Amino acid sequence: MTTFPDAEYLVLSSRLIPDLDGGYTLATLARARQMAAAGVHDGRGPLILTVDPGTPAEHARHRRTFDERELVVDPARLRNLFDEAADPDGGAASWLREAAHPGEADPALDYRTVLDEHGRPTVGLPVIVGDPDWHISTAPVLVHRRDGSVHGVLDGFGALYRAWLDEVARQLRQDDPNRPVVVLCESRQLGELLAGWDDPGVRLIQATHTIHLEPPYTIDAPVNALWGRWFDLAERFDAVLWLTDEQRHDVRERFELDGVHIVVPHGVPAAASVRPPAQRTQGRVAMLNRLAPGKRIDHAIRAMAQVVPIVPNAVLDVYGDGTGRGALQQLIDELGLGAHVTLRGATTDPGAVLDDASVLLFTSAFEGQGLAIIEALAHGCPVVSYDVRYGPRDSLRNGGGILVPDGDIDAIATALIEVLTDVELRLRLSREAVEASRLVDPARVMESLASAVTDVLGSPSRRA
């Protein structure tokens, strides 16, 4: 049985908002639930902290939605910086006032004033437009007094976030000032800001969620600009979690990283039961992803134009929303596929889709892990996927699907035809899929995470 070391556990995310940020939100909440199931904080799970400047009412609504969807164990353990930034008597909370130093607003910038539930100013955030590096700015963050005047400033968002985390850590250590605090940082940008957090009792574990490369996504492709600075700081984290062996290998080789780099994929539980291929809707192909350019759903539609003449009962159901809906529907109409391809919008029950589909189709240009593939395997649903970085190759290395060369629409069509028309192949792939999914069983994933935490707690902080 998995046992996490005795410590305080925090999961830190820039934001967690229902139906936003695709699989990131779901994966972050799933990890927290799985930590709870593994016994963290007696089954209550880690504290989940966010720093988006919404209103207390908005954050309360988010918690209710997550609770209704059974995405959190205890909604009270979701906390937000700005919900706690206000003093009950007005102005900023005492911990913010204590962290501030004398200063004024930058006259060259506009400011967004964050109000408490009574409409009183607490914090003023600099509005930095058109700069992807806004989060590392040291532009003054205003801290207000009860009368609304400026008490002082903090040097940028990083100082604001660290002041709150220092306060959270202080609260958790009230009974034991030496109690270790493990922070699982789910956001790369937040990780950059915390790389200088020198509390010797804190262990900072950075989780990664996305690819670090730009097109053409080869091992030596340009590095995404948002990752460049992070790699310079990567050795300051006590551990870094990667979703796949392939990405960990690529970054360690390219950037000569020597720190603690561990593969901890997103855990996906096995389906309660697996529906055999004969009981699924014959010819039904499913996709689960946003309607975004990087998902290349147009490739899937064009492939279906080749599949339908050979498999007349073939249908493609695409689950997800996004800005690409109009253009995709136009392509469906142009190809005369209205009876065979349907954009069905988002689903709150992907498991039901995967229980009924004969095949999951995956045409993304890049991924962090490809959560839909893992979910399909857990439901015994065969997969047809492009061989892209990162995820499909790792997930399907023990079977359960067919990989085809990246960007080859003809190969996608051929693979779909093969799976849809060969009953024995579908049966074999379904059996392989269930077996392959055991590699990401939550209990197994939590064992890896608990082992990583044990290791980092056994060594001094890399920042102290």
| For the chain, domain boundaries | 8-82+160-266+444-457, 94-158, 277-440
Round the average pLDDT of the chain to a whole number and report it. 96
| Residues 237-262, mean pLDDT to the nearest whole number | 95
Query: Does 186 have pLDDT greater than 90?
Result: yes
Q: Which residue has the higher pLDDT, 226 or 167?
A: 167
Q: Report residue 22's pLDDT band, with 50, 70 and 90 as the boundaries.
A: confident
Percent of the chain surpassing pLDDT 70: 100
CA distance 90 to 86: 7
List pLDDT tens digits, range 230-246.
999 999 999 999 999 99
Q: Report residue 440's pLDDT band, with 50, 70 and 90 as the boundaries.
A: very high
| Residues 241-252, mean pLDDT to the nearest whole number | 97
Query: Does 380 have pLDDT greater than 90?
Result: yes
- Written as six digits, the tokens of 98 are 């204590």
The superfamily (CATH) of domain 277-440 is Glycogen Phosphorylase B; (3.40.50.2000)
CA distance 136 to 201: 24
pLDDT value, residue 348: 86
Percent of the chain surpassing pLDDT 90: 96
Query: Does 148 have pLDDT greater than 80?
Result: yes
- Written as six digits, the tokens of 347 are 């689903």
Query: Does 251 have pLDDT greater than 90?
Result: yes
| Residues 372-395, mean pLDDT to the nearest whole number | 97
Query: Does 56 have pLDDT greater than 80?
Result: yes
Query: Does 1 have pLDDT greater than 80?
Result: no
pLDDT value, residue 320: 94
> Tell me: domain 8-82+160-266+444-457, CATH 3.40.50.2000, correct?
yes
Residue with tokens 């950037």: 255
pLDDT value, residue 366: 96
Give the CB-side neighbour count of residue 320, counting CA atoms within 13 A: 23
| Residues 205-209, mean pLDDT to the nearest whole number | 97
List pLDDT tens digits, range 328-360.
999 999 999 999 999 999 998 999 999 999 999
Q: Report residue 281's pLDDT band, with 50, 70 and 90 as the boundaries.
A: very high
Radius of gyration of the chain (CA): 24
CA distance 263 to 256: 17
Nearest to 263 by CA among 276, 274, 250: 250
| Residues 39-68, mean pLDDT to the nearest whole number | 96
Query: Does 51 have pLDDT greater than 90?
Result: yes
List pLDDT tens digits, range 74-92.
999 999 999 999 999 999 9
| Residues 397-423, mean pLDDT to the nearest whole number | 98
CA distance 322 to 344: 12
Query: Does 2 have pLDDT greater than 90?
Result: no
pTM, whole model, 2 decimals?
A: 0.94
Do 277-440 and 8-82+160-266+444-457 have the same topology in CATH?
A: yes
pLDDT value, residue 464: 78
CA distance 233 to 305: 47
Nearest to 300 by CA among 403, 376, 410: 410
CA distance 41 to 5: 10
Q: Annotate the chain with three-state secondary structure.
A: CCCCCCCEEEEEECCCCCCCCHHHHHHHHHHHHHHHHCCHHHHCCCEEEECCCCCHHHHHHHHHHHHHCCCCCCHHHEEEHHHCCECCCCCECHHHHHHCECCCCCCCCEEEEEECCCCCEEEEEEECCCCCCHHHCCCEEEEECCCCCEEEEEEHHHHHHHHHHHHHHHHHCCCCCCCCEEEEECCHHHHHHHCCCCCCCEEEEEECCCCCECCCCCCCCCECHHHHHHHHHHHHCCEEEECCHHHHHHHHHHHCCCCCEEECCCCCCCCCCCCCHHHCCCCEEEEECCCCHHHCHHHHHHHHHHHCCCCCCCEEEEEECCCCHHHHHHHHHHCCCCCCEEEEECCCCHHHHHHHCCEEEECCCCCCCCHHHHHHHHCCCCEEEECCCCCHHHHCCCCCEEEECCCCHHHHHHHHHHHHHCHHHHHHHHHHHHHHHHHHCHHHHHHHHHHHHHHHHCCCCCCC
- Written as six digits, the tokens of 327 are 């253009």
- Written as six digits, the tokens of 289 are 């992803």
pLDDT value, residue 185: 98
pLDDT value, residue 439: 93
Q: Report residue 132's pLDDT band, with 50, 70 and 90 as the boundaries.
A: confident
